[in-house]
Structure 1
């Protein structure tokens, strides 16, 4: 096999492992502190922290505006055009500054008018500070250029420092408020470093952007933004509704199980999504047939891997909860078991929705499906959370994800786009896909020993 043929595979592998390192820093390093912190602050304060994080997620969503998808797609299509890179970078930067101003105004108003926020102003302010990092963190640029390895190392070191500082500063129950502050400061450090690096590495020249240009960009990309909102309505809003209809302890039990699921999701599925999106996008750019073929090849691996992970989570759930949170969080075990196959459902939904529908510019259909799913999810969440607490919230999320993923598959099937082919699950086809990756790894090992 020639080096030319293995270059795309090598690039994909490099991006996947780099993103996995980023996600390890973001999600698995906190596992080192979780057993200590959860026992110090207890379920009640743990629930308050996660409730504030869920609310601030909406402000983060407004600032990001779906640019992690739309800007990545734009950069991937203009990777070799330095002038176009600078134009896109400037547009996104000024659009995010504008959105930060709007979100800050809304945050200040809600901080003094929503009783749950007004009761713990300092905690919510410390949590919100992380939103400033979203303006200067150009993850979308690195994703579009398919070069994330430089950022991965810097991010890992920063989060390692954050993890150590958390263990040093949180000593008693009252110190819980420092957790969101340290989290926000670490994200700003990472964002600033990656921003400066991007300017130098890609020779970015920032140009002033008029309000008209900003409004034009926001209007053009509105469908993806609305899609991100409706996705959040049936994920993050679960925690908010649970916080309003139940106690902080219910929020703690739900988010304890939810966090473990999201660690698996972000450590495996999210790196695959972010590294595959521009890779598959290039294939769809050449032809729909080639793009669909790429998705077909990838589907069996993601399905098999996430299914095995789900089985492992179900078996190990009691031990994981006891180890990471302590005996006070035992009620989170049933939450973790209900959600154990969510990563598999999300991974398939990502392949059908983000990787296929978005790359094929089916933005409106994607939005309609997620909107309908959100309406169903909100209804289920309010009803089940009120009746069953954390368990009801878990069932609401699981059922909503199943509906959305199934709806996307049906829509694509109706459009005669068939992404699941049983032949690709056979041993012979699996080996055909694995072989290029094995060849690249073998070359790297050989170079490392010579």
Structure 2
């Protein structure tokens, strides 16, 4: 978990460290354009991933000693992503070239889209399934540090703002290629071109996870995109500033905790439903406490953070940050109830239906709130939707007789937390 969290912190913290320098040059409007472009390209990233990552972790983690399974899944995922990248590039080229709103910032979108090549080749899902994330963290950190420093070299005037996203894209591609070749050698991967029948089965089997990701992105990842379409670049810049540090917390919750614990939970469910539920019930309490502490901390530091990193031109972002500071709690419970429990119990369709309803709620709230309340309305819509989804997931599990929250596991959770902390902070580490 620590290794994976470091990957995502580096991915998000390094750009954050350049913020005080960059935003004082480019201002709120161009910051809004940068983040709008990232939100636009995120839809293509979603298509390329398709749901392969989660399904691959689940398949490999359940039987990670089976080399044939690992080879087959690796080959199918890489080929599937490559095919979807070709399709995504055709769609991206058409939109960016022929829609005036996107054509006016064509080079910015191209600089951002370059990073999608890395999505094809970055096999972080394989490292997750094998629970070997330390090496990923190491070369991810080295490469991203070097390329992040280029921002200080190339951004000297307002019109240089596109180099911010270009730097992010090139670092993603570099890390992906290194991780790919290391994985092939380290895990002794033998690549074989899948048959058409195998690929059709892979796309069919993972389709539910893909559509679940789509609807989840509608209510959790479309806020900046919708704000950019129906409001101004300035408002996007304010919203982006207010949600930037929450993005790091979100990475910790929905990516780091999710991806680090998911293979453990999947492996436990592979041994039996009771074993899997025991693990989920045990981690519920420490995860919940941690998320509450993170949310409280974000609310408290909001004025200081905005002032220190963005300056007085972004004072309006304080209220945004305080609203979305509740997200770590809802996102943590969302992943625990949905990803860890429902997906492990193969309740994929129910998870999709709840996420789809959440998407409808999000779109409805945004339609009502964006025009009147701008960035405050979008932030409120995000929090309300996440809370609705968490309640729905919990209610469905109770309806099916699955109790994730059981006070009888509190003592075991305390023992588990102490054990994990003692492992992380072994005395010998301090004596090196």
Checking the alignment, whether the CA contact within 8 Å between 1:241 and 1:382 is kept in structure 2 is no
1:432 match:
415
Q: Do structure 1's residue 163 and structure 2's residue 148 form an aligned pair?
A: yes
Which one of the candidate residues 121, 124, 149 is aligned to 1:136? 121
Q: Do structure 1's residue 414 and structure 2's residue 399 form an aligned pair?
A: yes
Q: How does 1:95-114 map to 2 (within 5 A)?
A: 95-114=80-99
Structure 2 CA distance for aligned equivalents of residues 258 and 21 of structure 1: 20
Q: Do structure 1's residue 446 and structure 2's residue 431 form an aligned pair?
A: no
Structure 2 CA distance for aligned equivalents of residues 84 and 355 of structure 1: 22
Residue aligned with 2:403, SS: coil
Deviation digits for residues 76-128 of structure 1, max 9, x if unmatched? Answer: 12311222211111111111111011101111111123222111100001111
1:329 match:
314
Number of residue-to-residue matches in the alignment:
432
Residue aligned with 1:204, SS: coil
Structure 2 CA distance for aligned equivalents of residues 447 and 304 of structure 1: 26
Residue aligned with 1:234, SS: helix
**CA pair 199-318 structure 1, distance change in 2 beyond 3 A:** same
TM-score by length of 1: 0.93
Deviation digits for residues 191-233 of structure 1, max 9, x if unmatched? Answer: 0000000110111111112333222211111000000000001
2:67 match:
82
Q: Do structure 1's residue 209 and structure 2's residue 194 form an aligned pair?
A: yes
1:9 match:
none
TM-score by length of 2: 0.97
Structure 1 CA distance for aligned equivalents of residues 228 and 429 of structure 2: 54
Structure 1 CA distance for aligned equivalents of residues 154 and 180 of structure 2: 28
* Superposed CA RMSD: 1.5
1:374 match:
359
Checking the alignment, whether the CA contact within 8 Å between 2:253 and 2:331 is kept in structure 1 is no
Structure 2: gaps (5+ residues): none
Residue 269 of structure 1: how far off its partner (Å): 5.0
Residue 58 of structure 1: how far off its partner (Å): 0.5
Checking the alignment, whether the CA contact within 8 Å between 1:317 and 1:337 is kept in structure 2 is yes
1:94 match:
79
Residue 424 of structure 1: how far off its partner (Å): 3.9
Structure 2 CA distance for aligned equivalents of residues 48 and 356 of structure 1: 38
Structure 1 CA distance for aligned equivalents of residues 231 and 421 of structure 2: 51
Structure 2 CA distance for aligned equivalents of residues 393 and 114 of structure 1: 25
Checking the alignment, whether the CA contact within 8 Å between 2:253 and 2:332 is kept in structure 1 is no
Residue aligned with 2:222, SS: helix
Residue 421 of structure 1: how far off its partner (Å): 2.1
Checking the alignment, whether the CA contact within 8 Å between 1:224 and 1:367 is kept in structure 2 is yes
Residue 24 of structure 1: how far off its partner (Å): 1.8
Structure 2 CA distance for aligned equivalents of residues 241 and 392 of structure 1: 12
Checking the alignment, whether the CA contact within 8 Å between 2:286 and 2:417 is kept in structure 1 is no
1:13 match:
none
Which one of the candidate residues 92, 101, 107 is aligned to 1:116? 101
1:3 match:
none
